[in-house]
Amino acid sequence: MPEDNSKDILIEVKNLKKYFNVGAGAVLKAVDDVSFVIRKGETLGLVGESGCGKTTCGRTVLGLYGATDGHVIYEGVDIQGLKGKAKKDFTKKAQIIFQDPYASLNPRMTVGDIIAEGIDIHGMYRGAARTKKIYEMLDHVGLNREHASRFPHEFSGGQRQRIGIARALAIEPEFIVCDEPISALDVSIQAQIVNLLIKLQKEMGLTYLFIAHDLSMVKHISDRVGVMYLGNMMEFASSHDLYEKPLHPYTQALLSAIPVPDPEIEKNRERIKLEGEVPSPINPKPGCRFSARCKYAKQICFQERPQFKEVEKQHFVSCHLF
C-alpha cells in the first residue's frame, strides 16, 4: 500500500495475518495478509459479513492476539516486539469497547470500580483524585455520580454501553477499537451511543477503528472505510468514494442491500443479490476469496489471488477486474 503522509499516521498495518490452528492440520485464516493505515484523529470503518475477520483484525491490531505474520506499527514502533513497561504503556494508549455490554462488565463490581479498572492497573490516580476521575467520566458519558456505587445489572443496555465507554476512556487513551458497540442495543438508543462516541472523539482527540456489519451506519461516522471478506481486505477508500463509486463487486452487493429512503427509487432500483453462502475460511481455495459468489468471475479469479492495489487516488481494491 503506498504511503500516506507519514506524520498523519497513527497505525500502519502491514501484511497482517492471523491464523488459528483448528485441529487435524486445518488452518483457519481469519485475517490473511491485510494492509492499511489509520490516520490520527480519524474514524476508520471496518465492515463485512459475520465471520469475515473484523474482530480478529481489531484484536490483533491491539496486540490482544499475537499476529501469525506481518506488522502493526504504532507511531513508528512495531507493537509485537513490545515487552514489560513499553507493552503496558501501549495498552494504556489503545483500548477496546465491546459489542456486548452485558458480558463485558463484571457483575460483582460497582460501576465506579469498573470505570477505574484501568486507572488502578496503571496506578494513575488514588483516593480523592480517583473518585474525581470516576465522576468526571460518568459526566462525560451522560451518567450520574450516584451511579458509581451501583452494579451493572441495575442498568439498561445503553447505559451499560456508556459504562463500557467510560471504562475505556478513563485511562485517557489515543486509539479505540469500537467492536460493534451498538449492534446489541435497541435501535432507538443506537444513535445516542454513536453520537456520544462522536462527541467524545472530538473532545478527546481520539482515533477510532469502528467495526460494524451495517454499511449505512459506518457511512455516517467514518472518514474512510475498509470492506473485508473472508479474511481479506476487498476495498478501501474514503467513505465518500466508497459509497459514490464502489469498485469491488462485493462492495456493490453490500451497498445494494441497503434500502433507499425514497420509496419511488427503492421500488424501481435494481438490487444485486449475493448468491450462495460465505465459504469456509478453513484451508481456503486459491484465487480470489469472493470468486465463488462473483458474477463477473473469470478463470484467473479462481486461480490467483488479486493484488490489493491503488486504482484511484487513495482508493484501493483487490479484484482482477481492475
Ligand X SMILES: Nc1ncnc2c1ncn2[C@@H]1O[C@H](COP(=O)(O)OP(=O)(O)OP(=O)(O)O)[C@@H](O)[C@H]1O
Residues of this chain that bind ligand X (CB under 6 A): 20, 22, 28, 30, 48, 50-56, 213, 281
Among residues 48 and 164, whose Cβ is nearest to ligand X?
48
Are the beta carbons of 200 and 162 closer than 8 angstroms?
A: no
* Region of 52-60, 196-204, 256-264, 280-288 interacting with Mg ion (CB under 5 A): 52-60
CB of 282 to Mg ion, least distance (A): 18
Specify the pairing of strand 27-39 against strand 9-21: antiparallel
Give the integer Cα–Cα distance in Å for 51 and 253: 17
Residue 56 binds which entry of Mg ion, ligand X, none, CB below 5-8 Å type-dependent: ligand X
Chain-centre distance for alpha carbon 314:
19
Residue 20 binds which entry of ligand X, Mg ion, none, CB below 5-8 Å type-dependent: ligand X
Looking up cell 485517557, which residue turns up?
A: 172
Give the integer Cα–Cα distance in Å for 176 and 165: 10
Asked if residue 104 binds Mg ion (CB under 5 A), the reply is no
Residue 218 binds which entry of ligand X, Mg ion, none, CB below 5-8 Å type-dependent: none
Residue 306 binds which entry of Mg ion, ligand X, none, CB below 5-8 Å type-dependent: none
Q: Pinpoint the alpha helices (H) of the chain.
A: 54-61, 84-93, 111-115, 117-121, 127-140, 157-170, 187-204, 215-221, 239-244, 249-256, 263-268, 299-303
227: left (phi over 0), alpha (psi -120 to 50) or beta: beta
Among residues 114 and 233, whose Cβ is nearest to ligand X?
233
Number of residues located near Mg ion, criterion CB under 5 A: 1
CB of 70 to ligand X, least distance (A): 16
3-state SS, residue 223: coil
CB of 209 to ligand X, least distance (A): 12
Q: Which residues face 235 on adjacent strands? A: 227, 317
CB of 10 to ligand X, least distance (A): 22
Which of residues 18, 44, 55, 212 is near Mg ion by CB under 5 A?
A: 55
85 Cβ partners below 8 Å, 6+ apart? none
Residues in the chain: 322
Among residues 43 and 291, whose Cβ is nearest to Mg ion?
43
CB of 170 to ligand X, least distance (A): 25
Task: Report CA dihedral (91, 97, 101, 106) to the nearest 10 degrees.
Answer: 10
* Region of 13-21, 49-57, 64-72, 86-94 interacting with Mg ion (CB under 5 A): 49-57
CB of 43 to Mg ion, least distance (A): 17
Residue 53 binds which entry of ligand X, Mg ion, none, CB below 5-8 Å type-dependent: ligand X
Among residues 148 and 178, whose Cβ is nearest to Mg ion?
178
3-state SS, residue 31: strand
Residue 41 binds which entry of Mg ion, ligand X, none, CB below 5-8 Å type-dependent: none
Binding site for Mg ion (CB under 5 A): 55
